[in-house]
Structures are given as C-alpha cells and as structure tokens.
Amino acid sequence: MGASEELEYLKSLVAKLNEKIRSLESKPSAGPTPATQLRTILMGPPGAGKGTQAPRIKDEFCVCHLATGDLLREQVNQQTPLGVAAKKIMDAGGLVSDDIMVGIIQDQLDNNKECKNGFVLDGFPRTVPQAQKLDGMLESRKETLNSVVQMQIDDQLLISRITGRLIHPSSGRTYHREFHPPKKPMVDDVTGEPLIQRSDDNVETLRKRLGAFHSQTGPVVDYYKAKGLWHGIDAAQSPPVVWENLRKIFVGGAGKQ
C-alpha cells in the first residue's frame, strides 16, 4: 500500500469512528440499570428511627421513600380508584387488603419518577403473605429486593424515647424532651408553631403496639432471613452511627439481583 492509499484508508477509518461517536452521543442515556439500583425494606418498631434514616437513604441513593401509611392516606384524599376502594373498607371498620396495598406500591413504582432508581419501603410488609405478594409484584417487573434491614432496639429504651417525643404536625419534624429538645419549650425551631405529643405516645398504648409488632413481624424476619436478605442494625446507637451501618449494607448489597 502506497503512502497516498494508506492516508485515504486512515481518513476513512477516522470518518467511520467520528460517525460512530456521533451516533452514540445522540442516544439518550439509559440511566441506571437494575443492577445499580437500590430496592430495600426498612423494618422496625415505632420510634426505632425509620423516620430519621429513610429520608437520608432517599437523598443519598436518589430513590423514593414509600411510607405505606402516608401513601394510603394520600390515595384516599385524592380519591383515586385504589383510594376509594380502601376508604370503603376502612369506613366499614375493616383492614385494607394486601392486594390494595401492593397496588398502591406498584402505582408509585410505575408513575413516581423518584422511584426510577429504586425505593426504600417503610411500613410494609407486616405479614408473610404481604411479603409474598410484594415479591410477586416485583417479579412481574423483573426486579428483586437487595436487602431487608431491621432496626433493632430494646422495648424499654424505645418507650422512653417515644414518650418524650414532640411533633410539629404540618412538617412532621420531631423533637424529644430529653434527647433533642426544641430551642423553646413546645415550639418548632423553624416556624415557631406549637408542637404536640401524639395521644398514642403513652406507655400503655406503646406496650400494646410493640407486642403486636413483635408477634406480627417475627415471621416476616424469618422469611427474609431464609432468602439471605435480612440485616440487623443496632438502632440504639446515635443516628450518625446507625446511618454509617445502613450505608455499608446498601453500598455492599446494591449490586445484587
């Protein structure tokens, strides 16, 4: 091959490479694949710190926080088909069916853009049948859970935490009389509005709630342990230490399918 022929060959090669580069650059980014997403469940009794850690997980990993109690209220308020069905059941004094709850979660995964990288699920599943229905729904989406994290804390410590809890109703900000008091007693630091103590944040009610939680969720923990997804976290530690332990689980397990 002469010098001129070699030059022409190299020019054509460069042209083809430039065309390929332009083609790749013009394609929209596919975004994270399921292998890099985070799909996790946060379990724990009331007051264990789920409400503190879940927003941080949401921000750090760019996933949606699905607190099923809040989602249910939202669907009812917006009078969606699922919300209307749920309200009929609740008005009759019944429990909302597992199918409706899984439908509400699926609706979020389908339509909430924040869920495109995954989710942190809070408040569901509470029973093994619910866990099985959740698995089935995720399987239909060709997705699986990466982890199930149980925030563990002694009941007596939990009771002392919750009975001192103060809440700013409109924002959900929480304080504690002893561990995290507001700057002015019973007043929100940000808005200056009054804080409240929830009527069910008393010792007798809490003991009942904790008893129900342990008896109900014990089998769910065993279900996820058998699948190799369960992780336990000591929730009695300070929130920054709890966060570091959570983060290690998610960074280590986010790539699992």
- Per-residue pLDDT of 36-76, as tens digits, reads 689 999 999 888 888 889 989 999 999 999 988 888 888 88
Q: Are 221 and 126 in contact (CB under 8 A)?
A: no
Return the pLDDT at 36. Answer: 60
Name the token pair of 96: 């909302």
- Predicted local confidence at residue 9, as pLDDT: 79
- How many domains does the chain divide into? 1
Encoded tokens for 219: 């089998």
Kindly state whether residue 177 falls inside one of the protein's structural domains: no
In a domain, 186, yes or no: no
**Is residue 90 situated within a structural domain?**
yes
Answering whether pTM is above 0.75, one says: no
184 is a catalytic site residue: no
Q: Is 122 in contact with 66 (CB distance < 8 Å)?
A: yes
Q: Is residue 129 part of a domain?
A: yes
161 is a catalytic site residue = no
Q: List the chain residues with pLDDT less than 50.
A: 29-35, 254-257
Residue ranges of the annotated binding site are 47-52, 68, 73, 94-96, 123-126, 130, 165, 174-175, 198, 209, 237
* Catalytic one of 56, 116, 126, 177: 126
94 in a structural domain: yes
Question: Which residue out of 88, 141, 184, 198 is catalytically annotated?
Answer: 198
Q: Residue 239 falls within a domain, yes or no?
A: yes
Q: How many CB atoms lie within 10 A of CB 137?
A: 16
Which CATH number fits the domain that encloses residue 44?
A: 3.40.50.300
DSSP state of 91: H
Q: What is the pLDDT of residue 1?
A: 61
Active site residue 198: yes
Task: For 145-157, give one letter per residue: b (16+ CB within 10 A) or e.
Answer: bbbbbbbebeeee
Is 50 among the residues known to form the active site? yes
| 117, two tokens | 């990288």
The answer to whether residues 149 and 43 touch, using CB atoms and an 8 Å cutoff, is yes
227 included as an active-site residue? no
Binding-site residues for AMP, please?
68, 73, 94-96, 123-126, 130, 198, 209
User: Checking DSSP bridges between strand 165-167 and strand 174-176, what pairing results, if any?
Assistant: antiparallel
- For residue 105, what are the domain limits? 34-154+234-251
Residue from 163, 175, 149, 62 nearest 113 by CA: 62
- Ordered alpha helix ranges (H), the chain: 3-26, 50-61, 68-78, 81-91, 98-111, 128-140, 155-163, 203-226, 239-253
pLDDT reported for residue 31 = 45
